[in-house]
A and B are shown apart, each in its own frame.
Chain A
Amino acid sequence: MSASTREGLRGLLSRLGLLILGGALLLFGLVLFADATLDAASVGLGVAGVMLLYALSRLYAVVAALAGPALPEQARSLGRTKAELRDEKKRLLRAIKELEFDYGMGKLSKADFESVSATYKARAIEVMRALDGASDLHPELAALLREREATRAGEGGENAHTPEGAAPASSGASSEAAGLASSAADGDASSESPATSTRTCAACSAANDDDARFCKRCGKELAA
């Protein structure tokens, strides 16, 4: 549940609480002063009264909204909002986790795993870059992405979505993104492999750096 949802819910609950309290007071007053007997039917009537109050308050809100100050026209949002990007980031990271899991369970061939996982990771980096608000990329990463894009276009792979502004420039913001992607990709395993190129240990299927000679988890020598 996001913060906004939770807040909305809290607001709803507090308002509901007030209404119920009001209704209870009303009933109490009726019992005390008007000699009403408190049976199921009068409770029902009390609930009805509370509901009526709620409906009236909403009706008032309609009028208030219409009579309120004219707000600026809602801009047609071209870019995506941060929330959406965050969602997409999480979704991608989860997809990567799940993919590694599938690979670990032996459902994917190594080649398939690598190509799919690379596309996901590239996309995750792109999203995280957009989230950082940086229009620039680490030069090495930019080169890597371009190269990957080219190979992917060649094989007609999935998700052919180019990071549109892969302009080379120097900034540290996106290297953080790269780190994020890889650590998230490994899920609970802790690993610092670069995002896009890994070697998988035959013994424990941990992801290792491309140039590693020994597995960083189990220490076995990696096949050439």
Chain B
Amino acid sequence: MALPLATQLMIGAVIGAAALYLVAGGGETEGVLEYVYVEKVVAAPQTYLGRTIKVHGTVVPGTVKQKVGSSGDYTFEVEREGKRLAVHFTNMVPDTFAEGGEVVLTGQLSPSGDRFDSDDMAAKCPSKYEETPTAAR
């Protein structure tokens, strides 16, 4: 062992870090999603076409409709700062989903850019939920 131990340790640490990076998928960013507010999407929908993003907004009261017969197929609108976006949601809604409540939807814009297709939602109740805001999935 010609090298001092400290140097060996350093080399080991670098190799370890590189190994972790490679083993973990080499910079794969699955699970890292852009997080946008409704008004930004409405302002420039073409920027977000074809990508999975998260959209944050408030469910507009009175717009929630559920397709009869096949539960889990919802349409509603989300709004923020006066801008509205139509949502087609194809999954079960969480317990905390409510009209007027804040939601964060994961999904993609439809090719025309005027509808957001989502199948994953985190809902935050406007009140009484300050303790575990992300607990509902």
A and B touch in their complex, CB below 8 angstroms: no
Interface residues of A (CB under 8 A from B): none
